[in-house]
Structures are given as structure tokens and as C-alpha cells.
């Protein structure tokens, strides 16, 4: 993680234990669920940003932000079902 993140951004990373939301890798950046261009006023709201690793970030942009919203929704649902297995 670089030292360029704001406290608010670091809090997002922390919320996800510094991990990518798509895989167990370390998150290196924040992806905007709704792109800045479509949500110019509040794109940086915490609920619009998720931590991702470089590889998954590329993948998200490959599948497209619209589809990613569906992926994200199913991820969140399975998380709720499984609970959080390892708290370290």
C-alpha cells in the first residue's frame, strides 16, 4: 500500500482487512463501483469504493463496471452466509 491514501480510504482497506474483495491477495487500489464520470459528485463515498488487487482490478474493468455490480452483490451474499472465518 502506498502512502498516498487518505484516512477515509485507509478505513476502506481496513474494513476488508487489506485484502482484495475478489481474491485473497493484498489490495493495492480502490475501484469505484460507479465510475467517477457517472457519479461526479460523490464517487469517493466509501460505499462506492472497494479494495482490489491489481489483477482483479484489471479483470473488473474487462468485465465492465455494470457486470461487476452483480459480481459484488453475489460476493456479499456469500460472505453473509459464510460469516467471517478467520479473524486475525
What residues make contact with Zn ion under the rule CB under 5 A? 20, 22-23, 25, 31, 53, 56
DSSP character string of 5-18: --HHHHHHHHHTTT
Give the nearer residue to Zn ion in terms of CB position, either 11 or 63: 63
Is residue 27 within 8 Å of 53, Cβ to Cβ? yes
Integer-rounded Cα radius of gyration of the chain = 13
Q: How far is the CB of 35 from Zn ion (least distance, A)?
A: 8
Give the nearer residue to Zn ion in terms of CB position, either 12 or 22: 22
Q: How far is the CB of 56 from Zn ion (least distance, A)?
A: 3
Q: Cα–Cα distance between 85 and 61 in angstroms, integer?
A: 29
Give the nearer residue to Zn ion in terms of CB position, either 12 or 56: 56
Amino acid at each position: 500500500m502506498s502512502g498516498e491514501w487518505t484516512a477515509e480510504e485507509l478505513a476502506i482497506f481496513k474494513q476488508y482487512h487489506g485484502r482484495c474483495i475478489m481474491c485473497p491477495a493484498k489490495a493495492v487500489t480502490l475501484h469505484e463501483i460507479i465510475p467517477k464520470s457517472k457519479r461526479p459528485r460523490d464517487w469517493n463515498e466509501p460505499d462506492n469504493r472497494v479494495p482490489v488487487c491489481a489483477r482483479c482490478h484489471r479483470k473488473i474493468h474487462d468485465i465492465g463496471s455494470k457486470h461487476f455490480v452483480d459480481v459484488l452483490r453475489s460476493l456479499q451474499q456469500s460472505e453473509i452466509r459464510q460469516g467471517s472465518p478467520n479473524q486475525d
